[in-house]
A and B are shown apart, each in its own frame.
Chain A
Amino acid sequence: MNLALKDIQHNLGRFSLTAIGIGMLLMIVMGMGGIYRGIVEDATLLVDRVDADLWVVQRETRGPFAELSRVPPSLVHRVAAVPGVQSSREFVYHTIQRERDGQPLRMAILGLDWPIDRGEWLPLSAGRPIAQGHYEMVADQSLGLRLGDQIVLGKDSYTVVGITESMISASGDGIAAFSIDDAQAVQFDTPGEAIRLERAAREARGESFELTVRQPDVLENVWKPTAELPAVARPQISAVLVKLSPASSLADIKDIIAGWGDVSVFTQEGQRELLLRGTVDRARRQIGLFRVLLTVIAAIIMALILYTLTLDKIHSIALLKLIGASNAVILGMILQQALILGCVGYAIAYLAGHQVFPVFPRRVILATGDLIQLGIVVIAISIASSFLGIWKALKVSPNEALT
């Protein structure tokens, strides 16, 4: 016969309500840890998935995720020429917010260096990677788009050909992958009126150039789309991704590229660091403080409940002492109740969390390590919270059973 369990059975209503309350608190503690893990995972997910050895970005920037980075597309060729570089490709990345069916649609746009990169590395849950250089997109399921959906961005309409799972930007927006040309078209989409005005301005400028005076045919070029103008550079890209050949040294090549005056270069680990040390770090501390507070509150509630449970059976405790129960028996009873309360609360937190967390807008990742850590914390606060009750119980004199 276990005295702790018998008493719990006798006070089942109160005990269950307390356990549920503690469970809910622990669920929030658990969830906040999971949200932090989610943020970290989301922040670094793209960097990890893209899997480049080096990221070449605009000089002195911490791009392309932590801030804006602009590099010329020709940088790809410059980088490719460095000995030891196996391949280099363009990387375009920016976030847009548009409307769709009256709802805001925020998406992070990722440009794939078609046709070298068709997005085979994307974690597809349905559909296929991009199969043509234009008008196709692979969307994350968090964007709420379905296979075959058409969405209009800028002047063109794009068809969803693939759906990914958990491709989220550092700020929590779903990622949509396009070919780089499309990604840039979306980004640098200019309204017709702006283009007409720009052409008129070009014409006006062109008329005063010596070249156009001597060769009036050149003026016709101003009517062409910007992208077809031979003299006008292509839109800039966000970064260049570098894959090294197996034998080459990461540090050496990084040094070579870092020596160029117009770019900065980061390793994959460096990119992760940039993301984690920035906004994520503040979120981590914020969430960490909340977790500590909630854990303390849970401990206080447990201590109070265990204390009142002990007060309620102070007569029984005195009687047990009277008939010869040792302090170990009494202490064990209260400690067991504390641990049972903690464990049941933890189980409720875990089970309820698994139901609730998936409907959260951002990812909640319950990592095994975090769960074990919280479990240890729960055991610790269970033990600590039983001290008040144990202290009270040990003070009781067996005489009190007679009054």
Chain B
Amino acid sequence: MTESQGREIAISAMDLTKRYGSGNTEVLAMRNVSMTIHSAEVVALLGPSGSGKSTFLTAVGLINPPTSGSISIRGQKVLDGESALVNLRSFRRRHIGFIFQKSNLIPFLTAIENVQVAMQLNGQAARVSRQRALELMDYLGIADRASNLPAMLSGGQQQRVAVARALANHPSVILADEPTAALDGHRGRQVMELFAKVAREQGAAVIVVTHDHRALDVFDTIYEMEDGVITKPTHSRSAVSGSSD
């Protein structure tokens, strides 16, 4: 906690509740969840399947607004319950990078175009975006697959393309929902380390939903979620070592 003091608050989620459906089929996927994440903080979110992790992540990602509660990003209140206070799409484009459980690529674009498209939507020139996409893909070990369509890539390769796309616009918030599920242990760890590196270098706040306990040491903070409620914030090694400085 001490380390976080003095740092800018990147994400502030207050009292988030999410109700799916109504009547008999009503599901309360998230109950009064609050969380504050600072710039450059790398957060893991653990929990059993169906506990509401994805619901939380998509709410904070401004994709799936909560039924009630509010979300502020970089000090700006963007969601109050279901009502948007900013243009969510342009906000997402500029500030948030997503990586989802299933690799989520556009099938008619090549790997590098899938990365470039995020930058193009942000008004980046083709030459610049190509350069940046190549760098990211090179770092992730998929540069040789740049001109392949997603259908020709393995699950792990597709996931790494999605990671490259999420990082392309230098987002201040990175949200990843089980990003390493399709990767082997080594690659999985490499992706987690990349997040930590981006967090340090760009001051991005990172939330990763994961089951992979082997890589937990890269996280500053670890939350657990159960039955729609955040149960236990713990601080991992790096956070502890950070506070000992």
Interface residues of A, Cβ cutoff 8 Å to B: 1, 3, 6-7, 9-11, 313, 316, 319-326, 329, 398-399, 401-402
Q: Contacts of A319 on B, CB cut-off 8 Å?
A: 104-106
Q: Contacts of A329 on B, CB cut-off 8 Å?
A: 121
Return A8 CB to nearest CB of chain B, in Å. Answer: 9
Residue of A nearest to B101 (CB): A402
Please provide the 7 A-B residue pairs with the shortest distance between their CB atoms, ordered closest to farther.
A324-B93, A10-B108, A324-B92, A316-B106, A7-B108, A324-B89, A6-B108
Measured in the bound complex, the distance between the Cα atoms of B98 and A390 in whole Å is 26
Given A321-B89, A324-B121, also A316-B58 (CB < 8 A): no
In contact, B107 and A316 (Cβ under 8 angstroms): yes
Measured in the bound complex, the distance between the Cα atoms of B104 and A7 in whole Å is 16
| A-B CB contact pairs (8 Å), 25 listed | A1-B109, A1-B113, A1-B126, A6-B109, A6-B113, A10-B107, A10-B149, A11-B108, A313-B108, A316-B108, A320-B106, A320-B117, A320-B121, A322-B63, A322-B98, A323-B92, A323-B118, A323-B165, A324-B94, A326-B121, A398-B89, A399-B63, A401-B100, A402-B58, A402-B63
* Residue with the greatest number of chain A CB neighbours at <10 A, chosen from B54, B94, B100: B100
Measured in the bound complex, the distance between the Cα atoms of B98 and A6 in whole Å is 23
In contact, B92 and A322 (Cβ under 8 angstroms): yes
Residue of A nearest to B165 (CB): A323
Q: Contacts of B92 on A, CB cut-off 8 Å?
A: 322-324
Q: Contacts of A9 on B, CB cut-off 8 Å?
A: 108
Q: Contacts of B148 on A, CB cut-off 8 Å?
A: none
Residue of B nearest to A398 (CB): B63
Residue of A nearest to B151 (CB): A10
Measured in the bound complex, the distance between the Cα atoms of B113 and A401 in whole Å is 18
Q: A319-B105, A323-B117 are in contact. List 6 more A-B contacts (CB 8 A).
A: A1-B117, A3-B117, A10-B149, A319-B106, A324-B93, A402-B100
- At the interface, is chain B mostly helix, strand, loop or mixed? helix
Measured in the bound complex, the distance between the Cα atoms of B165 and A329 in whole Å is 18
In contact, A326 and B89 (Cβ under 8 angstroms): yes
Contact residues, B100-129 vs A (CB, 8 A): 100, 104-109, 113, 116-118, 120-122, 126
Measured in the bound complex, the distance between the Cα atoms of B63 and A107 in whole Å is 77
Measured in the bound complex, the distance between the Cα atoms of B106 and A313 in whole Å is 9
| CB of B90 within 8 Å of the partner chain | yes
Return A150 CB to nearest CB of chain B, in Å. Answer: 68
Measured in the bound complex, the distance between the Cα atoms of B118 and A323 in whole Å is 7
* B116 contact from A1, A316, A322, Cβ within 8 A: A1
Return B171 CB to nearest CB of chain A, in Å. Answer: 10
In contact, A325 and B89 (Cβ under 8 angstroms): yes
| CB of B64 within 8 Å of the partner chain | yes
Measured in the bound complex, the distance between the Cα atoms of B54 and A391 in whole Å is 29
Given A6-B109, A9-B108, also A325-B58 (CB < 8 A): no
Return B223 CB to nearest CB of chain A, in Å. Answer: 21
Q: Contacts of B58 on A, CB cut-off 8 Å?
A: 399, 402
Measured in the bound complex, the distance between the Cα atoms of B149 and A10 in whole Å is 10
Q: Contacts of A313 on B, CB cut-off 8 Å?
A: 107-108
Measured in the bound complex, the distance between the Cα atoms of B166 and A323 in whole Å is 9
Given A329-B121, A402-B63, also A324-B90 (CB < 8 A): yes
Q: Contacts of A7 on B, CB cut-off 8 Å?
A: 108
Return B236 CB to nearest CB of chain A, in Å. Answer: 28
Residue of B nearest to A322 (CB): B63
Measured in the bound complex, the distance between the Cα atoms of B113 and A352 in whole Å is 36
* Residue with the greatest number of chain A CB neighbours at <10 A, chosen from B54, B106, B121, B149: B106
Measured in the bound complex, the distance between the Cα atoms of B77 and A193 in whole Å is 111
Residue of A nearest to B63 (CB): A398
Return A398 CB to nearest CB of chain B, in Å. Answer: 5
Measured in the bound complex, the distance between the Cα atoms of B98 and A1 in whole Å is 22
Q: Contacts of A10 on B, CB cut-off 8 Å?
A: 107-108, 149
Measured in the bound complex, the distance between the Cα atoms of B100 and A399 in whole Å is 12
Measured in the bound complex, the distance between the Cα atoms of B62 and A321 in whole Å is 12
Measured in the bound complex, the distance between the Cα atoms of B173 and A322 in whole Å is 14
Q: Contacts of B90 on A, CB cut-off 8 Å?
A: 324, 326
Residue of B nearest to A402 (CB): B100
Return B13 CB to nearest CB of chain A, in Å. Answer: 18
Q: Contacts of A323 on B, CB cut-off 8 Å?
A: 92-93, 98, 117-118, 121, 165
Measured in the bound complex, the distance between the Cα atoms of B106 and A9 in whole Å is 13
Measured in the bound complex, the distance between the Cα atoms of B109 and A316 in whole Å is 10
Q: Contacts of B165 on A, CB cut-off 8 Å?
A: 323
In contact, B121 and A399 (Cβ under 8 angstroms): no
Measured in the bound complex, the distance between the Cα atoms of B110 and A7 in whole Å is 11
Measured in the bound complex, the distance between the Cα atoms of B92 and A321 in whole Å is 9
B2-33: CB near A (< 8 Å → 1, else 0) gives: 00000000000000000000000000000000
